[in-house]
Amino acid sequence: MNIPERLESLRRLMVSSGADAYIINGSDIHGSEYPSSRWRTREWISGFTGSAGIVVVTKVKAGLWTDFRYWIQAPSELSGSGIDLFREGEDDIPGIGQWLSEVLPAGSTVAYDGRTISSKTASEWDEIFKDAGISVLSSLDLIENLWKDRPEVSRSAVIELSEGETGETRVQRVKRLKKALEKEHADSWIGIGLDSSAWLLNVRGADVPCNPVVNGFLIYSEKRLTWYTDECRINKLLGKSLENDGVFTADYDGFFPALEKIPEDATILIDPQSITRGVLDRIPRAVKLKTAADPVILMKARKNSVEAERTSRAMEKDGVAMVRFLMKLEKAVARGEKITELDAAGMLLRERSSLPGFIEESFSPIPAFGSHGAICHYEASREGAFTLEAGPNLFLIDSGGQWEEGTTDITRTVALGTPSDMQMKDYTLTLKGHIALSRARFPKGTRGYQLDTLARSALWQEGVNFGHGTGHGVGYRLNVHEGPH
């Protein structure tokens, strides 16, 4: 089926299911930014390949809401699909809840798969829909019935990291989790994030390309921690290690039924931004919910001395690969060799692969020459890739690696010829922001958005800005994107 045919098939299912609108988030049931192929539902229904966005389908209309990173990419991918682009964040662009409340009459029903929608987002929609007289079905997975060749759940091998690699045993990490719960007067915790369970248990896998994670859920309740994953891929050595550390294992599909068995006198710490509506819908009503930031996400973000030291070593290796690549690229372009954006990405991958400890790329690289550099998260293709040339155009490459010592994410912008005055000015203004931010001293409690002004101040003085976040955390042998943002 092509995209319009998929939309029409979805609309027929909506009618039989009693839904007047259906929302497709494109995330998985773990809240992942980069889901495995099984959960790329947004891409399947719309053709849009960006990493962020929500598709909404009514009986007569369809729209994609996505942020500034994809305002250039999305129109070409949506062309001919029958899906309109809503540039999220622009003036006068309604949010999803507002738009649906305007196009649907009172008495309508909006449906979605609550396992893929955060509790925070669902609650915001609830308020809007209630005022508009619209009801919600939050447990409807219509894509499963349409996507006939949908990939299966990934089941990669699981490896265990030693204390020498992590700087902390899983027993110590679980003990810290327990203390955090006690501080919040809670006795239970639910972990759906794949990187959170990998970090807490000191395990890694390959269930998501470029992200060394293992499909699974965690429940800490009644003073015991249970990991819901595919037990068949846990070897005897790892199984015994988990058992000795007091970690129980159970089948992956047993997670949602297990939520219904949480004792009614339990108090669960819930982070609305990371827990999903589908999880909350399965927890018994009598259970007390304590709202707070997820302690594991916070602990994971702050690297210990071993993680920091090993990451520095990974960055040194990555830097060697990058310098070798740029040197070879510059010489090749000067000789007049035909090198496309994809060729350049391949050259960098070979340099990384030649060094010991390299595992894989930490995300699909973004090699962008000339005007392609203006497309955030640009994805080069064989048909549309530019050829690099010596001249006034700049070449940007955003890439990273998964190393045995850690995870890297590095962007470099280089001139392959003589840059223009405007390019040198813009580059210098951006460099000033880097310098100001790296040299900043600030008191405890300073917020990220306050430091963000240092990165933009030099640009603002010239009446310009950049439409992108300033920075993000990087996981330790984990996902390339994590908090703080």
Question: Domains in the chain and their CATH numbers?
Answer: 3-137 (3.40.350.10), 159-301 (3.40.350.10), 305-461 (3.90.230.10)
What is d(CA 184, CA 283) in angstroms, rounded to the nearest whole number?
19
CA 40: distance to chain centroid? 12
- Phi then psi for residue 27, to 5 deg, are -95, 175
| pLDDT tens, position by position, 438-481 | 999 999 999 999 999 999 999 999 999 988 889 899 999 999 99
Alpha-carbon gap, residue 92 to 398, rounded angstroms = 32
Confidence of residue 165 (pLDDT cuts 50, 70, 90): very high
Is 149's pLDDT higher than 90? yes
Give how far Cα 213 sits from Cα of 34, 43, 227, 271, 358, Å: 11, 22, 14, 21, 17
Q: Quick check: pTM over 0.95?
A: no
| CA–CA separation, 206 and 229 (whole Å) | 14
Nearest-angstrom CA–CA distance, 259 and 218: 11
Report d(CA 168, CA 175) in Å as an integer.
11
% the chain with pLDDT above 70: 100
Query: What is the percentage of the chain residues whose pLDDT exceeds 90?
Result: 91
Query: Cα separation of 155 and 205, whole Å?
Result: 9
**Mean pLDDT confidence for 194-199:** 97
Region of 174 (left: φ > 0; alpha: ψ -120 to 50; beta: rest) is: alpha
Secondary structure (3-state) at 119: helix
Q: Are 46 and 11 in contact (CB under 8 A)?
A: no
Residues 334-389 have pLDDT tens digits of 999 999 999 999 999 999 999 999 999 999 999 999 999 988 888 899 999 999 99
Q: Look at residue 374 in the predicted model and tell me its pLDDT.
A: 87
Q: Which residues contact 78 (CB under 8 A, 6 or more apart)?
A: 46, 47, 48, 64, 84, 85
Looking at residue 239, what is its pLDDT?
A: 95
291 alpha-carbon distance from chain centroid: 23
Average confidence (pLDDT) over 392-415: 96
> What average pLDDT does the segment 4-15 reach?
97
Write the DSSP symbol of residue 82.
T
Distance between CA atoms of 466 and 173, rounded to whole angstroms? 39
- Tell me the C-alpha distance between 145 and 366, whole Å: 34
How far does CA 112 lie from the centroid of its chain?
20
How far apart are alpha carbons 308 and 99 in whole angstroms? 45
Q: What would the pLDDT profile of 17-75 be if each residue is shown by its tens digit?
A: 999 999 999 899 999 988 999 999 999 999 999 889 999 999 999 999 999 888 988 99
CA 280 – CA 260 distance, rounded (Å): 10
pLDDT category, 399, cuts 50, 70, 90? Answer: very high
As a whole number of angstroms, the distance between CA 438 and CA 455 comes to 9
Q: CB 164: neighbour CB atoms within 10 A?
A: 8
The overall longest dimension of the chain from CA atoms, in Å, is 73
Span 76-82, average pLDDT: 94
What is the per-residue burial (b if ≥16 Cβ within 10 Å, else e) of 311-321?
A: beebbebbeeb
C-alpha to C-alpha distance for 478 and 199, rounded to whole angstroms: 8
Confidence of residue 89 (pLDDT cuts 50, 70, 90): confident
- What is the reported pLDDT for 375? 85
pLDDT tops 90 at residue 175 = yes
Q: Which residues pair with 413 in a beta bridge?
A: 396
CA geometry: angle 194, 30, 255, nearest 5 deg? 95
Strands 224-229 and 217-221: antiparallel
